[in-house]
Each structure stands twice: as structure tokens, then as C-alpha cells.
Chain A
């Protein structure tokens, strides 16, 4: 064990990161900002996975993390493409203007 930091420290880091990401998603006006928030939340999950894998001595969690990162890349690409398309159609990328689903 290279360090004596307990598991809880990693989990608190992940929780803080998740909360920051969620805050970004809920409050940012710009859709790209929202995407960044989502990335933060995903990475907090990755930290959780890696930490549990390390402390349980099971490498499966590490492998899954690699998968998650690669899928995240695809998700970001898709999300950015959506944002660009929305901008082309609506001439805006501000989330408050995208309220077509209003009841």
C-alpha cells in the first residue's frame, strides 16, 4: 500500500466531485457547461470504482474503469454534436431557451 489514506477519503473526494458536477449541470446556462458538469459526475464515479477496486484487491473494477472512460469519450462526442446541431437549428445554445417540452 503506497499510502495510508483510508477508503473514506477517496469516497468523500468522489462525492464532492459529484456534487460539483451536479451543481454545474443544474446551474450552467451554456449547454457546453452542462456537458462539462456531466463529465465531472462521470469522473467521480470512476474514482469510486478505482478506489473500491484497489481496496478490495479486485482488478475487475480497474478494467471497467477503462471501459467507462472510453464510453465517456463517445458520449462527449455525441453530446457536442447534439449541441452543435441544436445551435444550427435554434441559433442558440443557452439551456433556458430550449423549452420545447413545456406543458
Chain B
């Protein structure tokens, strides 16, 4: 059977949709829990196979479009829906399908103890998410992209709030939804403005307009900025990044899939898709680069003071998204996209590894762990592989994409962002190895795995195969991608200076060494470090007061406005209505009194009225 990439991609898109519909409608199946999980896993395995097939058949220059007219109008149709398969979307499709499949398998083990209806609900959402994310990836135009963009946001909300009985989880879900929604409003405005100028939602048609120079550049900056706002919300760029750390209230596999590998990269993917549009507005690109670099550095600082392993990883994700965005801002979208792919693999690995640890220890706090290297050797190895990849050590996937980004940013002329990224790279290596040394090396903490955490006697062990096999696959991929890049180092779009590689490796090793000196060898005192950076540390512990700022903004502006609107409604609008109703009542009461109820009065009135009428008719005029 020969099928073109577009058909296979459409198949990959529709399999999770079928799984979602089946689980949503057939509620006995959903409530059975594990069976629902198996349905979902099978469908995502099929989707992965189809995605791999589409990717294998995809040529670098080829492009397959399967589109249908939507919202018919007199001349053509308003929008197209369907599938646009090209080199970028198929590789992204593979990433989404792969991580989605592995996470679903992993969840069978991780959420083993969940009640069965809840597990079925979880897999229903997972299927919906896989479908929506693939819809974003394969969208041929802005309108479809926006619809699926909102759908992934919905799935994110539902899955963060999976344990909705916990108030923190419910609050985090609402927070994530609201803050990304703030960006999405910008995205929607940008899409409509662009449609107003170009007359179409279709990527290819807009691209043709741009290439023919028929899209006027004047005022286009507002459009691209609005589009960027959407990407800012989804991809957790400063200052809209505050939702991502809180999103860690969801189950860890969800964090791995949605809040590390796929959904949060949708903003980067959007920029990758439309970089030719952003290239017309260099000012906005410059802004994207600066914000990206600032986000990368800020989040790296924040990650250094966290003791919750998932929050470290969450800030690390924000930081890496900043890297990708900076590359976009430098105009080298391919470098950012490459980092998106490698980051998707190794960050999913890190999250799933952290999940295995949390599953065993029963706590998120790295100070409750310690010495896990001996208790959980497999998890230790894969976690270190992921950490080395994230830190940017050669031979691991993350090194090459990060170096590409640094080279791209340097060539793009963003000097200050470049140095911010270098500093962030140093901090990345430091905070990740801080986690490794505290949680996996070092001594076991006596109070750590006591009765409070449900593991009497502390017999910790590696996760079961259903969880560890996905870890090993991702670890193998992290290394495999690195080795692939050693052997096929493609021609880059730019020429990086020769000192870049030593610098990148140097800062990474420097970070690792500092972490080792501080938390393992204890040559440098952690307290001294904390004292040396006391102001920064205090600010970071307070999350740079951004959450307080947003809360104050919410309380001050939004609640103030609500109170004002409430006052206007209560006293002005209601007052007017009350005046009218009182007036009606008074006059009704007065008119009531002429109804005596005596038939003779009515006859009398009738006769007098008739007489008056006759007089009026006969009146000479």
C-alpha cells in the first residue's frame, strides 16, 4: 500500500479523534478504566505508526495538502480545513505522536492506583489532547490552527485539574486557562487583522502574497505582535509564564506531555510556521528575541531556588522555551525548531523520570529524596542522560540544538540576548545537577521516606516495566539524536564563530562543577552561595513578585471594574426600572377604582359613551 504523507498524517490525526469519541460516548467502556486506557494507547500507537509513515515518505521540499472548503460564500469559501503535511509538520507530528504514545503507556503504570472512572476520564482527555495537538501541527490555515489551539488549552485545563478535589489543582487549572486565554485574545485579534489585510486564513496563500510583495508592511507590526501574544501565552514567555509552574499540580505524565514536550511548544511552532510573516517586521522579531532571552535567564534563576523537582523542571521548560523564542527572534527559525524537537524528547524523559521518583518516594521535594542512585539505578541512569542533554553536553541531543541557537543568536546580531543565554546555560547545568546530586547522590535522608510518605522501611525500587520502557526509549532517543548530529552535521544557515563550541561546553561543565562542589563535595557552602546572592535569591523565592503583581492587577483593576459595574447596575439601571414599575403600580391602583363591578354602571357608561359618539358623528363642522 502506498499512501502519500498527507493521507497518513490525516490518519494520525483521526485515530485519536476516534478514540476520544468512542470513550466519550461509550461510558461503560470509559468507566472501566484500564480498558479505556488500552483503547487510547492502541489508537495512539496507530497514530504513531501513521506519523512515522508520513515522516518517512516526506521529502524535504515536498508538501501535501488535503483541504476542504469551509463556510462557503459566494466567491469561494471563507476558510479551508484539512491537513498540510510538509517537512516541519511531519517531524513535529512524529514528536507529538511519540511522546503522546509513550506518556499514555507510562500512565498505565503511574496512575495504577487511580479509581477506574477517573482513569477512563484521564484517557478520554489524553485522546482529545493528542487529536487537538495534531490538529494544531497539521493546520493549513490560521482559523483551524486557532480552533485546535483553543482545544489544547482546554485539554491542558482539564488535565491540570485532573485531581479537581484538590483546591491547588483546581486553582492552577483556572490560572493556566485564564493566563493563556489572555494571550489567545491577542492571537485571535492578530488572525482577524491579518485576514482583513490578506483576505484569507490559508498559510500558503498568505505566503504567496508575502513573496509577491503584495502584503503591505505598514502597520503589519501590530498584526505580528498580536500573533506573538498568543505564542507568548502558550509558550510561557515573560510575563505570561506564571501559569506553567503552577500547572505542575497535574499528574506528572501530563506535565511531561503537555507542559514540556508538546503544547507549550505550540507557540514556537506557530512562529516557525509563519516566520516569513514575522520577517517582515524586524522590530517585533527583535522584541521576541529580547523577551525570549530574558525569559530564559529569569526562569533559570527561578529554577535554582526551587526544591520541588517538578517545579525545577517547569522553570527549566520556561527557560528552554525562551531559548527557542530567542532563536526565532534572531530570524533563524530552524535552529529554534530543532531545539523544540530535541527538548521535547529529553524534557519528556526528565519529567517521566521525575514521575518515577515521585511515584516511589511519594513526595515532590528533592530534600526528601537523596541516595536514589542505589535504590533506583535505572531511573538514575535515564535521568542523568536527560540532564546531560538539557545541560548541553556533547554527544547528547540537547547540545547540538542549543549550540545552534547560540550560534543563530550571535549571527542574528542580538549580542546582549546572546550573553543572557550563555549565563542561562550555565545556570541550567547548575540547577539540573543540583537536583541530580541532592536527589540521586548524597545521603538518604532519614525523615525522607518515613511513614508520612507511605513507604514503610524505605524499600524503594525502580518503576515497573510499563513505566521504565518509555524512559529507556526516550533516553535512547536523546543519545541517538546526539550521535545522529555528530555523523550528519548539516550545513547551518549561518556561520558560527569558532569559539562558540568551547564556550558552550565550558559553561555547561562549569555549571556542573559548581553544582558538584556545592552539593556533592561540599567544598563550596550552599549557605555561602545563598548569602552571596541574597537579594536575587529572595526575589526568586518570591517569584520576582510577578504572581503578586498579577493578583494585585486582578484585584485592583478587574474587581474594581466589577464593583463599579455592579454599582451602576444596582443603582442606575435597576433604579430606572424601579421608577417605571412604581409609576405603573400607582396608576394601576388608581384606574382600578373605576371598576365598581356593578353591571348597571357599565351599562350607564356604555350608553353615555354611545351618546357621545353619536353627538361627535353628528356634530356640524
Contacts and interface: CB of A to CB of B under 8 A. Distances in A.
B66 to A, nearest CB: 73
Contact of B597 (A22, A25, A26, A103): A103
Contacts of A101: 595, 597
Contacts of B594: 103
Interface string B579-619: 00000000000011111111110011001000000000000
A99 B599 CA distance: 8
Contacts of B604: 26
Interface residues of A, number: 13
A50 interface: no
A98 interface: yes
Contact of B596 (A27, A34, A102): A102
A103 B599 contact: no
A88 B226 CA distance: 85
B603 A25 contact: yes
B595 A26 contact: no
Contacts of A25: 600, 603
Interface in A85-99: 95-96, 98-99
Nearest to A25: B603
Nearest to B608: A26
A26 B598 contact: no
A100 interface: yes
B592 A26 contact: no
Given A26-B603, A26-B607, A103 B598 contact: no
A95 B598 contact: yes
Given A103-B593, A103-B594, A22 B600 contact: no
Contacts of B599: 95, 98
Contacts of B591: 103
Contacts of B592: 103
A39 B596 CA distance: 25
Contacts of A98: 597-599
Contacts of B593: 103
A100 B600 CA distance: 13
A101 B466 CA distance: 84
Nearest to A102: B597
A26 B596 contact: no
B598 A99 contact: yes
Interface size class of B (residues with CB under 8 A): 10 to 19
Interface string B258-292: 00000000000000000000000000000000000
A101 B603 CA distance: 14
Contacts of B596: 99, 102-103
Nearest to A95: B600
Nearest to B602: A101
Contacts of A96: 598
A102 B593 CA distance: 8
A32 to B, nearest CB: 14
B603 A103 contact: no
A103 B607 contact: no
A92 to B, nearest CB: 13
Contact of B607 (A22, A95, A100, A102): A22
Nearest to B611: A22
Contacts of B595: 101-103
A22 B603 CA distance: 9
A37 to B, nearest CB: 9
Nearest to B592: A103
A95 B591 CA distance: 23
Contacts of A100: 597
Interface string A63-103: 00000000000000000000000000000000110111111
A63 B280 CA distance: 99
Nearest to A31: B599
A99 B597 contact: yes
Nearest to A101: B597
B610 to A, nearest CB: 10
A99 B593 CA distance: 13
A22 B609 CA distance: 14
A27 B597 CA distance: 16
A27 B604 CA distance: 9
A38 B546 CA distance: 90
Name the residue in A26, A27, A95, A100 with the highest tally of chain B Cβ atoms < 10 Å from its Cβ: A26
A101 B107 CA distance: 76
A101 B594 CA distance: 11
Interface in B548-596: 591-596
Contacts of A95: 598-600
Interface string B90-123: 0000000000000000000000000000000000
Nearest to B601: A26
A99 B596 CA distance: 7
A22 B597 CA distance: 19
Nearest to A27: B600
Nearest to B591: A103
Interface in B419-449: none
B465 to A, nearest CB: 86
Nearest to B598: A99
17 contacts: A22-B603, A22-B607, A25-B600, A26-B600, A26-B603, A27-B600, A34-B600, A95-B599, A98-B597, A98-B598, A100-B597, A101-B595, A102-B595, A102-B597, A102-B598, A103-B591, A103-B596
Q: Give me the 6 closest cross-chain CB pairs, A-B, nearest first.
A: A103-B595, A102-B597, A99-B597, A101-B597, A103-B592, A26-B604
Given A98-B597, A101-B597, A102-B595, 13 more contacts: A22-B607, A26-B604, A26-B607, A34-B600, A95-B598, A96-B598, A98-B598, A100-B597, A101-B595, A102-B598, A103-B591, A103-B596, A103-B597
Interface of A: 22, 25-27, 34, 95-96, 98-103
